[in-house]
């Protein structure tokens, strides 16, 4: 049986134009040959440092940004082949939740108007029953029916994100791209929103592409994790396997850099060493080589393919050898 969502070879390049003639002066290779699947009711987390192309992956797969190449299939329909009219209808099944619901909600529209719009547009409500459906959506997302008359600025950050989720849920989507949905919220509120997303997934079988740089949240939320470096997946694995046995040196530095959830442990978190190189001029060979503690000559010239190693997919020439643990960069006792 094929997965609900299949993404194959997704690529997004942005030409950089300069001068009065707007000549193409270079290309930002934001997303390169990204492939993954998401099953019904499954969460695939996409993690990596900011600027690594995570959000572009989310937007390109929804065609909010037109992909340069690649194929996206949802429930057997090739989304990337759809003409604009068919794509508008397809949008119903593929929604997005943003980091900052303040920026994505119209400040001049009440919550009732914000939620009624997609319901009426996709004929999921009639003018006669739309208010009831808005009320039901609000209570599904942990708000009260009387919140319907309010404007975005009258809510707290967490409540506003609940409105953003209600709007995404209005069209009964199969897939929701969650782009850093809790990064702007207080830690206590983060847990509530993450649990709401999990509850909705259990109830409606929604698939999530969960974009985040916060590994603590990812650990709680994800079934599988794709680690992205400079627009390419460098490791993909089940979440438990990835956290227990990270195979790619970049995954290991990300985990080592994450704050420890256990306060009794000395906090040895440190940012991943070195800066993320520019996607305008990515390094040759393995793009991670300038920052990789295990880099060899071969890494500077030959790009490692993403290949199956055990139950994971890993793009490192030495995924098997480094797995043994003898050269693990974070193996030193803390």
- Binding residues for Mg ion, rule: CB under 5 A, are 55
- Which burial class, exposed, middle or buried, applies to 282 when counting CB atoms under 10 A from its CB (0-12, 13-18, 19+)? middle
Q: With left for phi above 0 and alpha for psi between -120 and 50, is residue 156 left, alpha or beta?
A: beta
Please report, as residue ranges, which positions from 294 to 313 form the binding site for ligand SF4 (by CB under 6 A): 294-295, 299, 304
Please report, as residue ranges, which positions from 239 to 278 form the binding site for ligand SF4 (by CB under 6 A): 248-249
Q: Which is nearer to ligand SF4, 306 or 316 (CB)?
A: 316
Count CB atoms within 10 A of the CB of residue 324: 8
**Is residue 288 involved in binding ligand SF4 (CB under 6 A)?**
yes
Find the part of the chain contacting ligand SF4 (CB under 6 A) among 52-60, 89-97, 260-268, 282-290.
282-290
* Contact indicator for 93, 171 with CB cutoff of 8 Å: yes
Please report, as residue ranges, which positions from 191 to 250 form the binding site for ligand SF4 (by CB under 6 A): 248-249
* Contact indicator for 220, 207 with CB cutoff of 8 Å: no
Q: Which is nearer to ligand SF4, 71 or 303 (CB)?
A: 303
Q: Which is nearer to ligand SF4, 16 or 305 (CB)?
A: 305
Q: Which does 230 bind (CB under 5 to 8 A by kind): Mg ion, ligand SF4, none?
A: none
Q: Which does 55 bind (CB under 5 to 8 A by kind): Mg ion, ligand SF4, none?
A: Mg ion
What is the closest distance, in whole angstroms, from the C-beta atom of residue 59 to Mg ion in the complex?
Answer: 9
User: How big is the site for ligand SF4, counted in residues (CB under 6 A)?
Assistant: 13
**Is residue 286 involved in binding ligand SF4 (CB under 6 A)?**
yes
CA separation for the pair 175, 74 (Å, rounded): 9
At 60, give phi and psi (nearest 5°): -70, -35
CA separation for the pair 208, 198 (Å, rounded): 10
Beta bridge partners of 47: 212, 227
Q: Which does 295 bind (CB under 5 to 8 A by kind): Mg ion, ligand SF4, none?
A: ligand SF4
* Contact indicator for 317, 286 with CB cutoff of 8 Å: yes
Running DSSP on this structure, what letter comes out for residue 192? H
Residue 60 in tokens: 């390109």
* Contact indicator for 35, 9 with CB cutoff of 8 Å: yes
Q: Which does 38 bind (CB under 5 to 8 A by kind): ligand SF4, Mg ion, none?
A: none
Q: Which is nearer to ligand SF4, 173 or 304 (CB)?
A: 304
Q: What residue number has its CB nearest to Mg ion?
A: 55
The residues that touch ligand SF4, with contacts defined as CB under 6 A, are 248-249, 286, 288-289, 292, 294-295, 299, 304, 316-318
């Amino acid at each position: 049986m094929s997965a609900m969502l299949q993404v194959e070879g997704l690529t997004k390049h942005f030409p950089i134009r300069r001068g009065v003639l707007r000549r193409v002066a270079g290309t930002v290779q934001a997303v390169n040959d990204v492939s993954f699947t998401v099953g019904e009711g499954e969460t695939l987390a996409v993690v990596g440092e900011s600027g690594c192309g995570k959000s572009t992956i989310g937007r390109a797969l929804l065609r909010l940004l037109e992909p340069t190449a690649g194929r996206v299939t949802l429930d057997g329909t090739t989304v990337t082949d759809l003409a604009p009219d068919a794509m508008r209808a397809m949008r119903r099944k593929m929604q997005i939740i943003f980091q900052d619901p303040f920026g994505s909600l119209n400040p001049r529209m009440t919550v009732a108007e914000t939620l009624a719009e997609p319901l009426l547009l996709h004929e999921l409500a009639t003018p006669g029953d739309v208010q009831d459906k808005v009320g039901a959506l609000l209570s599904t997302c942990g708000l009260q029916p009387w919140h319907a008359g309010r404007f975005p600025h009258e809510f707290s950050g967490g409540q506003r994100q609940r409105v953003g989720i209600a709007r995404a849920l209005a069209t009964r989507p199969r897939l929701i791209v969650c782009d850093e949905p809790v990064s702007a919220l207080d830690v206590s509120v983060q847990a509530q929103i993450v649990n709401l997303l999990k509850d909705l997934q259990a109830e409606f079988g929604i698939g999530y592409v969960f974009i985040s740089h916060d590994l603590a949240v990812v650990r709680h939320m994800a079934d599988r994790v794709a680690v992205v470096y400079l627009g390419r997946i460098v490791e993909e694995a089940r979440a438990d396997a990835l956290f227990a046995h990270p195979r790619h040196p970049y995954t290991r530095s990300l985990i080592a850099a994450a704050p420890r959830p256990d306060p009794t442990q000395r906090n040895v978190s440190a940012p991943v060493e070195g800066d993320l190189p520019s996607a305008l001029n990515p390094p040759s060979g393995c793009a991670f080589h300038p920052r990789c503690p295990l880099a060899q000559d071969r890494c500077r010239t030959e790009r490692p393919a993403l290949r199956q190693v055990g139950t994971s997919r890993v793009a490192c020439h030495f995924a098997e050898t480094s797995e043994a643990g003898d050269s693990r960069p974070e193996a030193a006792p803390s």
